[in-house]
Amino acid sequence: MASDTTGSGGVNDFEIYIRFNEDQDKDYAFHIDSDTTFEDLQNIFKTLPISLRPSVFYDTKPAKFGYSTSPGYLTANGGLLYNYNADQPRFTKYPKSQLDKVSDYVWPEQLILPSWNFNHFHNLNVILLLLAWLYTDLPDFISPTPGICLTNVIFKLLAFLIISFTEDDNHPWAKNILKETALNNTGKPGQIIFFVFHVLKCLMIYSVMYFGIANPYEANYLVLFGRRMKNFVYSSLLSISTTNASQELSAEKLLKIGWTGTRKVCIDDYIDFYRNHIIAEHGGVVKAHTKGILKDLNSRFGVLLGEGEGFETPLPKNHREELLKYPLNLLATKNFPGVVKDTVEFLEKDQVSEENEETVNAETKKEVEDEAKIKASKVEPLSPLFTDSAEGLFKMSYKFYSFYNISFLYNNDLFSNDDYKSELYRFNGIDAVRNFRKYGSFVTKASSWKKYFDFRNSLGDCRKNDK
């Protein structure tokens, strides 16, 4: 989105994720360009005709946008998922101005967090309405105005209608209804029990609304009633269409706001998905257990990153220039032939080095001594593609993100046969893109990645950062 659109084809496109309803299961991918501002993201909430706020007690549009710097969860497949603490205040940062460019603050795939204003007026209205309802149901022996229970009023109205239509004041149905709704017809214990249940019912209704279980797009029932009546009069009585073309949701509008329709999975969903894949790939639980695949399987799914890693990696000082060097759009690389060439050469060299890893002979004594020093310090030679840290911590970079760009993999035949067959990847057209967005799946042929992940996994979770 540039100025008033998302994904409009700026200098370099990439994707961000926006959290809807303050729900970690609703982190959706949006395509933006390097000129998109935080304020431009409001167009997403103006366009989508669904309730995206946490509950009906919040304003329908975000007050502002922040971004999460929680380092994240690095998967064994090279994806970077969001930790469960991603929306905590200590990880939530805000730009100096909502008119600042998103690309000046976040990495590709970083999580954007809308900030919502609580609507105290609406909350108070709901509370007063429920209290009024409770008042009408006060036990008759306590209420200053006994006999105004809404249920009883409705039944009395029904009895009145029966008498009016039958012209029989002694109609048995009407007499029975009036008898059942007479004052103090029920004993005091019964009235108290009924009132307690009514209190619980009101508390449940308020909880359902407060926690967003019921979260309609329009929560003002007077507005809803007025809109329904208008539609009925215009369409049924006057045969006039009430459809507003400007309010219709079209494919063009979705593309304009950068909609991809794909959400990022949470850590638990990824682990379940990957575990089932591994078990299925080895012929079931029994065979996987026999082969020893299930041993320590849980420790090989991924690693929770620590302070200064992942999305907490500071953007490079020259990030505006760096941003233009690499193809960050998952689907495009044609404008970056140099990067494609370098990446392919890197992968091919890396693959050869792995195949000959056991037969490598040091050409000089110095090389052998240097290698011994590195191993003694427990820091394996790691690719600068994944880290520039002496400790081997995972550092984000535009170069890393472009490394597993789908077009790199497709156009340069960097998928192995196993990748094509794997249930984990399902690389068939649009599903490939969708699964990359969901799981951040990596290409198994990249041996340097496997080498790095094994090393980073050995350092453990959240080194300086709690879970």
**Residue 331 has what pLDDT?**
60
Task: Indicate yes or no: pTM above 0.85.
Answer: no
Q: What is the spatial distance between Cα 99 and Cα 3, in angstroms, rounded to a whole number? A: 9
The overall longest dimension of the chain from CA atoms, in Å, is 115
Identify which has the larger pLDDT, 349 or 145: 145
Q: What is the spatial distance between Cα 245 and Cα 253, in angstroms, rounded to a whole number? A: 12
Q: What is the spatial distance between Cα 156 and Cα 206, in angstroms, rounded to a whole number? A: 28
Instruction: Please tell me whether residue 263 adopts helix, strand or coil conformation.
Output: strand
Neighbours of 3 (CB within 10 A): 11
Lowest mean pLDDT among 363-367, 383-387, 412-416: 363-367
pLDDT exceeds cutoff 70 at 416: no
Q: Which of 55, 88, 56, 57 is nearest to 71 (CA)?
A: 88
Taking only the tens place, the pLDDT of each residue in 455-466 is 888 888 865 444
Taking only Cα atoms into account, the Rg of the chain, rounded to an integer number of angstroms, comes to 31
Confidence of residue 424 (pLDDT cuts 50, 70, 90): very low
**Residue 87 has what pLDDT?**
95
Q: Which two tokens stand for residue 452?
A: 């790095």
**Average pLDDT in the 199-227 region?**
81
To 10 degrees, the CA torsion angle through 344, 347, 352, 356?
Answer: 170
**Residue 34 CA, distance from chain mean position:** 22
β-pairing verdict for 111-115 and 92-93? unpaired
Identify which has the larger pLDDT, 227 or 444: 227
**Average pLDDT in the 131-148 region?**
85
**Residue 85 has what pLDDT?**
92
To 10 degrees, the CA torsion angle through 148, 204, 51, 87?
Answer: 150
Q: What is the spatial distance between Cα 246 and Cα 231, in angstroms, rounded to a whole number? A: 17
What are the backbone angles phi and psi of residue 372, rounded to the nearest 5°?
Answer: -65, -40
**Residue 451 has what pLDDT?**
80
What are the backbone angles phi and psi of residue 36, rounded to the nearest 5°?
Answer: -65, 135
Q: What is the spatial distance between Cα 461 and Cα 309, in angstroms, rounded to a whole number? A: 11
Q: Which two tokens stand for residue 189?
A: 């214990």
Q: Which of 41, 75, 198 is nearest to 449 (CA)?
A: 75
Identify which has the larger pLDDT, 194 or 246: 194
- Check if the beta carbon of residue 445 is closer than 8 Å to that of residue 416: yes
Q: Which two tokens stand for residue 257?
A: 């706001």
Lowest mean pLDDT among 65-69, 139-143, 165-169, 395-399: 165-169
Strand order in the sheet with 302-304: 80-81, 73-75, 302-304
**Average pLDDT in the 73-83 region?**
86
pLDDT exceeds cutoff 80 at 142: yes
Q: Which of 326, 460, 348, 341 is nearest to 400 (CA)?
A: 326
Lowest mean pLDDT among 280-284, 316-320, 336-340: 336-340
- Check if the beta carbon of residue 305 is closer than 8 Å to that of residue 71: yes
pLDDT exceeds cutoff 50 at 6: no
Lowest mean pLDDT among 20-29, 187-196, 241-250: 241-250
- Check if the beta carbon of residue 254 is closer than 8 Å to that of residue 30: no
**Residue 417 CA, distance from chain mean position:** 32
Q: What DSSP state is assigned to residue 448?
A: H
Q: Which residues contact 3 (CB under 8 A, 6 or more apart)?
A: 35, 37, 40
**Residue 441 has what pLDDT?**
54
Residue 322: Cβ-neighbour burial (10 angstroms; 0-12, 13-18, 19+): middle
Confidence of residue 364 (pLDDT cuts 50, 70, 90): very low
Confidence of residue 239 (pLDDT cuts 50, 70, 90): low
**Average pLDDT in the 117-135 region?**
93
